[in-house]
Structure 1
Amino acid sequence: MITVLLAIFIPFIAACLVPFIHKFLTGRRIGWFVMAVPLFLFILLLRLVPSLSDGSTYTYTFPWIPSADVHFSTYLDGLSMIFALLITGIGSLVVLYSIFYLSEREAIGRFYTYLLLFMGAMLGVVLSDNLIVLYVFWELTSISSFLLIAFWYHRKQSRYGAKKSMLITVTGGIFMLAGFLLLYSMTETFSLRELIGMREVIAADSLFVPAMLLVLIGAFTKSAQFPFHIWLPDAMEAPTPVSAYLHSATMVKAGIYLVARFTPVFAGHATWFYIVSCVGLLTMIWGSVNAVKQTDLKALLAFSTVSQLGMIMSLLGVGSLAFASSESTHVALFTAATFAALFHLINHSTFKGSLFMVVGILDHELGTRNIRRLGGLATIMPITFSIALIGSFSMAGLPPFNGFLSKELFFEAMLSLKEANLLTMDSLALLFPLVAWIGSVFTFIYCMIIVFQSFLGKTPEPFPGQRPAHEAPIQMLVAPLVLASLVLLIFFFPNTLGTYILGPAMLAVYPQFESLNGLVPEIHAWHGWKMPIFMTIGVVLLGVLLYRFLRYWKGIYQLGILQWTLDRLYNTFLLWMETTATKITKTYMTGSVRDYVAYIMLFFIAFLGIGLVGIPQFVFDFSKDAPIEINEGLIVFVMMCSSIAILFARSRITAIILNGVLGYSIAILFVVFRAPDLALTQIIVETVTTVLFLLCFYFLPEWRVERKSISMKWRNGLIAAASGIVVTVVALLVQGHSFYPSISVYYESASRLAGGLNVVNTILGDFRAFDTMLEVLVLFIAGLGVFSLVKLRRKKGADHPEKK
C-alpha cells in the first residue's frame, strides 16, 4: 500500500521544504506548517486502525538494489502501527508545544528541519520490512538525534551529550548490522516477514546465538539499557521539546520495537529470555535508584525513563517464554506479559511526555530546573501542578491513572514465573518479582520528589536572575493537557485501546495465533485482593516511609562504591583512546616527506614481498628471453650510473641533468627496439619535464645538503634496495609466466581490419583515441605551464637566489 510509503517520505519532503518556506513563514508561523505534517499522518494512519484490528496488514515493495536482495519494502501491522501512532501523535503535540516554547531568536527553521528528519527516520524504522533499509533508517535516527541534541551547539554540554549519544547508538547499530548479515547468511533473505516464517531454520543454525546477541546489542544501545544507558541523561541538554519527543516517546522506544519485532524469531531460546528480562530488570532498578539522587528535574526524568524502559524490556523477556511453553495456562500468563509491555509503552509515552513538558514550562517561566530552588508553586501554577500530579502519580502506579493498570500487569507478569514453574530454581523465580518491587519503590520515591519538592512546601529564597513565578500561557499548556487527559481516559477505557491497538500488535508478536482469542486479556482496575495489589500497597507504604525520611538516608549516595559510575569509566576510556591515538599519530606523522615515503615503501615491501613467497609459481623462466646486445647493455649501464650519481649530486643543475640522462636513455632504448613513436613521445615529455624542473628550481631557496646520520643512510639504503629487488622480482615473475593468451594477437589482427600498418599507431589512434586525446591535453597544459614560467617576471628588489 503506497500510503505506508508516503508516511515515510512525507516528513523528508517537508524537511527539504522548511528552509525555503521559512523565508516566507517567519517566526513561529513555520511551526504551524510543520505541525500539519505529523497531524496529517496521524489521521491517515488512524483510519487504518479498524482494518488492522480485523487482521489486515499493508505492504508495498519496489526494487532498490536487486542484485544484493535489498528492496525498499514497507510493512504495516499492529506492532508497527502502535509506534507509528506514537511518532506522529506525540510528534504533533511536541511541535505545538515547541511553537510557544522556542524563542523567535532561535534557529527555528533548522530545528524543525532536524525534527522532521528524525520523524521520517523513525517511521522508516518501524515500517520497514527489509533489514538493510531498517538499518539505514536506524542510523539516520542516530544522526538526526545528534543534530537535535546539539541544537544549542554553543554549549559545551550539548556538544558532549550529542557526541556521546551518537557514539554509543551508532556503535550499537553496527553490531546490529552484523547480526542482520548473520541472519541473511542463515536464511538468504533480508525480509522480516520471511525471517519469522523461518524461525525453525534459524534456531537450528550454529550462528543463532551470535546473531541474537548482536541484534540485542543494537536494541539495548538505542533503548538505553544497562550498561549503555549513560548517553540518555547527557542527551537531556537538548531543548525540552526534543527530550519530550526523542527520549520519552520515540527514539528510545526503537530498541523496544526491535526486541518485540524479533521476539518471534529468537524467542523460545533460554538465552533470549534471560538476557532480555535480566537486563531489563537491572536497568529498571539502576535507573530508579539513580533518579532519586538527582537535583535537576530533567536529569531525574532521564533516569526515570531509563528505569521505565527497563521495565518494558523485562516484560518482553518474560513474554518470550510463551514460545517455550506448551500448556495453555502458561501461554496465557506469558502473553499477558507482552500485552503489559505494549500497554505500558503507550502509558509511558503519555505521562512521561507530559512531565517533560512540565519541566520545560518550569525552566521557561522560572529559569531553573533545580529542585532545591523550587517549591510552593502549586497555588501559583495550578494547571502546571495538576499536569505534574497526574503524570507523576501515573508513573508511580497509583489509581485512577493508566500507569496503575500497567504496573499491576507488570507485577502479575513477574509473579507468573513462579506460578508457571519454568525456572529451575525457586529462588530465581522469586528474585524477579522482588527486584521489580524494589524498583517500583524507588519509582514511587522519585515521583513524590517531583510533586512535593517542586510544587508543595515552602517557596525557597529567590536566586539571582530568577523570574517571578507565574502560570504558563495557555498555548504552552495545551499539549501537556492533552497527554494528561489521555492518562485519565486510558484508565477508564483501557479495553478500547486493548481491542483496537494492542490486539493487532499481539498478533504480530505471536504469529502462531490465528485470532485474538486468549491474546488480549480484559483490563480491570480491580482484580480483587491478590498479590499484585498487596505489592502495590507495599510500594506505597514503604515509599512514603522512605520519602518521609529521605534526608536521613540519602547520604548513602555519597559512599565510595555508589560514587562510581559508568560515565566515569566511559570518559576514562575515551581519554585513554585519545591519548593513545595522539601518541601513535605523533610517532608516524613527523612532517618529513622522506619518512612518509619510507612508510609507503615498507608497506609495499612487506605485503607484496611476503606475498610473493607464498606463490607456488615462484619460478624464474628465462628460456624465452631474447639475448641482450652490447649496445643495449651499455645504455642500461649508463642509466644505472646516472641513477646512482643523482644520489651524490651537490647541486640542482647536476641532479636535473642526470635525471635527463635517464629519460633520454629510455628514448634511445625505444629507438633500439624499433619504436620510434614511443621514442619521440619520450623525448618530448623528457624535454618538457627538464625545462619545467629548471624553471621551478630557479626560484627555490639555496640548495642545502641535508646532513644525515650513518644509521639513517643505512636505513634509507636498505629500503631503497629492498624496493628495487621486489620490483625486479615482480617484473621477472610476470615475464616468465603467461597464464592467459597474449592480447597482442588480437591487436595485430584488428589493426589490419582498421586499415593500419603500424600496430602501435592503430592502438593509439583507434583503440585508445580518447586516452590519446587526454594525453595531448596534458601536454598542452604542461606547455602552458612552461610558457607561464618563461614569461614570469620577478618583482623589483627581490634577491636573486643562487643558481645551482
Structure 2
Amino acid sequence: MSWLPIMIVIPFITTIFIPILYKLFIPRIHTGWFVFPIPLLIFIYLLTYIPAVSSGNMVKHTLPWIPSLGINFTNYLDGLSLVFALLITGIGVLVILYSIYYMSKMRESLHNFYVYLMLFMGAMLGVVFSDNILVLYVFWELTSIASFLLIAYWYQRKQSRYGAQKSLLITVFGGLVMLTGFIMLAMMTGTYSIREMITLVEGIQTNALFLPAMILILVGAFTKSAQFPFSIWLPDAMEAPTPISAYLHSATMVKAGIYLVARFTPIFGGHAEWFWLVSGIGILTLLYGSLNAVKQTDLKALLAYSTISQLGLIMSLLGLGSASMYFGLGDESTVYAVAVFTSIFHLINHSTFKGSLFMLVGIIDHETGTRDIRKLGGLMNLMPITFTLTLIGSFSMAGLPPFNGFLSKEMFFTGLLNASQLNVFNMDTLGILFPIIAWIASVFTFIYCMILVFKTFTGKHQPTKLEKSAHEPPIGMLIPPMILIVFVILIFFFPNVLAKYIIQPAFTSILPTYVGNGGIDIKISAWHGWTPELFMTIGVIVLGALMYRYIRKWIVIYRYYPKALTLNNLYNEGITKMESFSFGLTNRYMNGSIRSYFIYIFAFFILVLGSASWLLTGISFDSSQDAPINFYEGGLIAAMMIAAFTVLLSKTRIVSLIAVGALGYLVSMFFVLFRAPDLALTQLVVETVTTALFLLCFYHLPEFSKHMGRMRFKATNLIISIGVGTIVTLLALASNGHKLFEPIVNYFENAYELAGAKNIVNAILVDFRGIDTMLEIAVLCIAGLGVYTLIKLQLTGRDKNETK
C-alpha cells in the first residue's frame, strides 16, 4: 500500500491534537516540539523515494471519492512532485524549529499558529500529489485559506488584516478563474486526470476551448506565484510572523504557481501563446520585482520584492523551455530544454538562500526590535554569525561565486542567449529583449543584495534608534538558517549530485518527450571559459557596485513616479469604489422593511417560475384521473375562503385572529376526510398553541387607531398576493395531472416488512428518513446550545458589572 494519501492526511490529523497538547503543557513545553516530528518523519520517508524516482519509477495510489462522476482521490509521485514535497517538508522542519525560538510561548496563541501551519502543509502536499484536477483545486484553495489565517495571525494589527484580505482576494480570484479552465479541460478531454489529459493532447489542441483554458489556468498560476500584475499581495503578506514569511512566501505557497505551470507544460507547451505568456510575464515580473526592491527601507519588504523578482526568473525559464516541445527531440529542442532544467535548479537554490535570508532578517528584527534599514547599521561586530550567514545568502542571491545562486544564474544567462538566437515564435527579432531585460534586472538584484548586507551590518551603529540592545540570538534560532546556508555552499561544489537524483527526474516530468532518452545530459560547473554570460556577470558586478556606491544620487528618481499609477493604489482605489458601490446598492434595497423583503422574494418567485412555465409550456392540465369533489368538500372550501377574506377585511385584531384560527381548524378537517388523523391532531395542536401565542402578543401591541391609523390599500400587495397564489395553484394542478415517475407510496406501503413498523408515518420518519431526522434533531440541539451559551454569557457579563 502507498503512503502518499497518509502523508497528506497526517498534517490535518495533527491539527486536532495541537490545541489539546497546548492546553496540557503550556507554558512548560513549547507546542512546536510536538509538531516538529511530523514534517521531519514525512521528509525522511520522502527521501526513501529518491532512488526509485531517479530511476524513472512513479508511485500512484487511488482512493474512490465520487466514482460515478470520475472524481477520485488519486495521488501521484514523480520527479516534479518529489522536488516540491521535499521543499515543503524540509523547509517546514527548519521553520518549525526556528519558530520554537522565535515565537514566545507565553505571549502568543501558539495552538492557532501551529494549527494553521500544519493545515497549510497538508494542503500544499495535496496540491503537488494530486492527479485529479478537482481535488487539486480543493487543496489549492485550502492553501489560500491557510495563508490568510497565517498572514492575519497578529489580527490586532490593521496591516495584518489588510495584507491577509488582499492575499485572499487575489489568490482566491485566481483560483476560481483557474477552476473554469480546469472545467474546460475536462470538457475537452472527458477526464479529470492530468496524466490522462497529457496522453490526449494531440486531440484537444485544435479545440476552441484550448486557448481560453490555457489563459484561465495561467491566471490562477500567476496570482498564486505573485506574477505581474498580481504581485501586489506578496509585500503586504510580510505582516505575518517571520517564520511564516520564510515558509509560505519563499519556499512553498508562492511556488505553487510555478508547480502548476510546470505540471501543465506537457499539455500547453509548444504553443506560441503559452510560450509568450509564461516567459513574457515572467521576465516582466523579474524586472518589476528587482526595481521595486531597491527602494525599500524595510528588510522584509526588500526580500518580498526580491522574491517576486526571483519567481519571475523561474517562470520565464519555464516559458522559454516550453518551446522545446515545438521541436520534439534534437539539438534545437535541447537549447530550449536547458531552460526547464535551469528553472528547477534555481527553484531549489532560491528556496535555500531565500529561506535562510528571511530567517536571518527575522533574527535581526527579533534582536534589535526593528527591520528599518535607516535605523540599522554597524551590526557586524555585535552579530558576527548573523552577518556571515546573511553575507553568504545575499551573495548567492546576487549570483556570486562560490555559492549555488551563481551556477543557476549563469545557466539562466546561457538559456536566454541561446533562446534569443533561434528562429521560432519571432524570437529572432523580439528575443533580444530577454537577455537585455534580464541583465538590467540582475544589476538591480546585485544592488539590493548589497543594501541588505552593507546597510544593515556596516556603517555607524545607532543604538538609540533600536528598541533592543543588539546581540546574537539563541543557537536554536541560528541552526535552521545555518543548515540552509550549508546547502548553499554544498550545492555549488557538488551540483551534479543534485542534478542526477533530483533535477533530472523533475525535468523528465515536465518534458515527457525526453522520457526514455536519458533526459538531458547537462554537467553543471562553475567555469565554462570566457563566455558571453560570464562577461554579463562581470558587467552586473561592475555596474552594480558603481550604482550602489552612488545610490543616494539616483535613488531620488523613484520619487517622481506618480503614486496614483502604482498597482497598490489602483487596487486600493478599486476596492474602495467597489465597497462604496456595494454599500450604496445594498442600502437601496435593505431598508429594514420586512414587507420590502417579501416583495423581492415573491416578485422573483413570480417572474422566474411564471416565465419558465410560460416559455417551456410547463402549464398543462389533465383532470381525467382526479376524484370527484363532494358537496361537503366544497362546503369546507367555501368556509375556508370566507375565513381568509375575514382576515383581510376585519377592522380589529381579535376578529382577524379568530379567522386565522378557524382557517387552520378547517384545514385539519380535510386531514380527517383524507384519513390522516395524526396530521389532523398535529394541526389542531399547532393552531391552538399559535392562537394562544398570538393572543398574548396582541395583548401587548398598541391599538391601530391610536398609533398607526387606518391601514391603506396597497396595490403592490394585491398584485403580489394574486400572482403567488395563481402560480402556486397552477403548478400544483399541473404537477398533479402529470406524473413522470411511479408514485413512491407503493414502496412505503410495504413498511412493515421493510422496517418492522406498523405505522407508516413513523417508519418514514425513523427508518427511511432516519439520517435526515437525526440531523434535524442535531440542528435543534446546536441551536439550543447556542441560546444557552448566549444566556450564560449575558448573565456572566451582568455579574461582572455588578461586582465592579
Residue matched to 1:247: 249
Of 655-664 and 121-130, the range deviating more from structure 2: 655-664
Partner of 1:344: 346
Aligned twin of 2:12:
12
* 1:74 and 2:113 aligned: no
Report the AA paired with residue 17 of structure 1: F
CA distance in 2, matches of 1:745, 1:477: 73
Counterparts of 2:668 and 2:194, CA distance in 1: 65
Single out whichever of 384-393 and 1-10 deviates more from structure 2: 1-10
SS of match in other structure, 2:64: strand
Asked if 1:521 corresponds to 2:522, the answer is: yes
State whether structure 2 residue 149 is matched by structure 1 residue 147: yes
Deviation at 1:228, TM superposition (A): 1.2
Secondary structure class of the residue paired with 1:324: helix
Q: CA deviation at 1:665?
A: 5.0
Structure 2 counterpart of 1:265 = 267
In structure 2, how many angstroms separate the alpha carbons of the residues matched to 1:41 and 1:630?
79
- Counterparts of 1:353-752 in structure 2, within 5 Å, are 353-424=355-426, 426-460=428-462, 462-463=464-465, 466-515=467-516, 517=518, 519-561=520-562, 564-616=565-617, 618-619=619-620, 636-665=637-666, 681=681, 684-685=684-685, 688=688, 691-693=691-693, 695-697=695-697, 699-704=699-704, 706-707=708-709, 713-734=714-735, 737-740=737-740
CA deviations 1:55-86 (Å, max 9, x no partner) are 12222222222122222222111111111111
Deviation at 1:739, TM superposition (A): 4.6
Q: Which of 89, 106, 109 is residue 107 of structure 1 equivalent to?
A: 109
CA contact (8 A) 2:79 2:508 kept: yes
Matched length: 764
Name the aligned partner's letter for residue 544 of structure 1. A
Aligned residue for 2:57? 56
Cα 1:691–1:100 change in 2 (3 A) is closer
- Paired residue for 1:164, among 150, 166, 178? 166
Q: Would you say the 8 A contact 2:160–2:240 is kept in 1?
A: yes
The verdict on how the C-alpha distance between 1:691 and 1:403 changes in structure 2, with shifts beyond 3 A counting, is closer
Q: Structure 1, unaligned stretches of length 5 or more?
A: 756-763, 782-804
Q: Which amino acid aligns with 1:257?
A: Y
Separation in structure 2 between the aligned mates of residue 248 and residue 332 of structure 1, nearest angstrom: 30
CA displacement at 1:131 relative to structure 2 = 1.9
Determine if contact 1:336/1:520 at 8 Å carries over to the other structure: no
Distance 1:45 1:516, change over 3 A: farther
Q: CA offsets per residue over residues 325-350 of structure 1, 9 Å max, x none?
A: 25612111111100110000011011
Contact in 2 for aligned 1:499/1:520 (Cα 8 Å): no
Provide, for residues 693-751 of structure 1, a one-character-per-residue CA deviation record: whole Å limited to 9, x for no partner: 564345432232545786x712222222222333343345456x445588599699x79
State the distance in 2 between where 1:89 and 1:632 align. 78
Out of 376-385 and 648-657, give the one that drifted further. 648-657
Q: Which residue of 2 aligns with 1:232?
A: 234
Distance 2:619 2:236 in 1: 60
Distance in 1 (alpha carbons) for counterparts of 2:742 and 2:56: 66
Structure 1 residues 24-43: aligned runs within 5 Å: 24=25, 26-43=27-44
Q: Give the TM-score, by structure 1 length.
A: 0.88
Structure 1 residue 113 displacement after superposition: 2.2
Match of residue 333, structure 1, among 315, 332, 335: 335
Do the aligned partners of 1:663 and 1:682 also contact (CA within 8 Å) in 2? no
For 1:414, give the aligned amino acid.
Answer: L
Contact 2:507 2:519 in 1 (8 A): no
For the residue of structure 2 that corresponds to 1:33, the secondary structure is helix
What secondary structure sits across from 2:65 in the alignment?
strand
Is residue 361–residue 472 contact of structure 1 (8 Å, CA) maintained in 2? yes
Secondary structure at the aligned position of 2:400 is classed as coil
Q: What is the distance in 2 between the residues matched to 1:380 and 1:683?
A: 83
Paired residue secondary structure (2:717): helix
Per-residue CA deviation, residues 88-111 of structure 1 (Å, 9 max, x unaligned), is 211111112111111122222322
**Greater alpha carbon shift after TM alignment, 191-200 vs 657-666:** 657-666
SS in 2 for 1:462: helix
Amino acid at match of 1:7: M
Comparing 254-263 with 322-331, which one deviates more in the overlay? 322-331
Distance 2:735 2:663 in 1: 24
Q: 1:507 to 1:160 in 2, by over 3 A?
A: same
Q: Which amino acid aligns with 2:327?
A: S
Determine if contact 1:339/1:520 at 8 Å carries over to the other structure. Answer: no
1:661, distance to aligned residue in structure 2 (A) = 4.0
Q: Deviations over 1:484-531 (max 9, x none)?
A: 121111111111111111111111112122346461411111111221
Residue 761 of structure 2 is aligned with which of 760, 764, 768?
A: 768
* RMSD after superposition: 3.1
Q: Which runs of 5+ in 2 are unaligned?
A: 768-772, 781-804
* Offset at residue 461 of structure 1 (A): 6.0
Please give the per-residue CA displacement for 1:573-597, whole angstroms capped at 9, x wherever unaligned.
2222222222232222222222222
Instruction: Quote how far apart the aligned CAs of 1:618 are.
Output: 4.2
The 1:123–1:662 alpha-carbon spacing in structure 2 relative to 1, beyond 3 Å, is closer
Q: 1:53 to 1:680 in 2, by over 3 A?
A: closer
Secondary structure of 1:522's aligned partner: coil
User: Equivalents in 1 of 2:686, 2:250: separation in Å?
Assistant: 70
CA distance in 2, matches of 1:360, 1:58: 38
Amino acid at match of 2:7: A
Q: TM-score, normalised on structure 2?
A: 0.88
Shift of 1:280: 0.5
Q: CA deviation at 1:460?
A: 3.5
Kept in 2, the 8 Å contact 1:97–1:241? The answer is yes
Alpha-carbon distance in structure 1 between the residues aligned to 2:746 and 2:104: 74
Larger CA Rg, structure 1 vs 2: 1
Range with greater deviation from structure 2 (556-565 or 193-202): 556-565
**Against the structure 1 CA distance between its residues 208 and 648, is the aligned structure 2 distance closer, same or farther, given a 3 Å change threshold?**
same
The alpha carbon displacement at 1:279 in A equals 0.7
Distance of aligned partners of 1:754 and 1:81 in 2 relative to their CA distance in 1, 3 Å threshold: closer
Q: Distance in 2 between matches of 1:517 and 1:741?
A: 61
1:127–1:701: structure 2 CA closer, same or farther, 3 Å change rule?
same
Deviation of the 1:246 alpha carbon: 0.9
Q: Helix, strand or coil for the counterpart of 2:592?
A: coil
Q: Which residue of 2 aligns with 1:785?
A: none
Give the conservation status (yes or no) of the 8 Å contact 1:417–1:429.
yes
Residues in 2 aligned to 1:399 and 1:535: alpha-carbon distance in whole angstroms: 14
- Structure 1 residues 708 and 325: alpha-carbon distance in aligned structure 2, compared to 1, 3 A threshold: farther
Structure 1 CA distance for aligned equivalents of residues 110 and 618 of structure 2: 67
State the percentage of identical aligned residues: 52
Which of 291, 294, 307 aligns to 2:293? It is 291
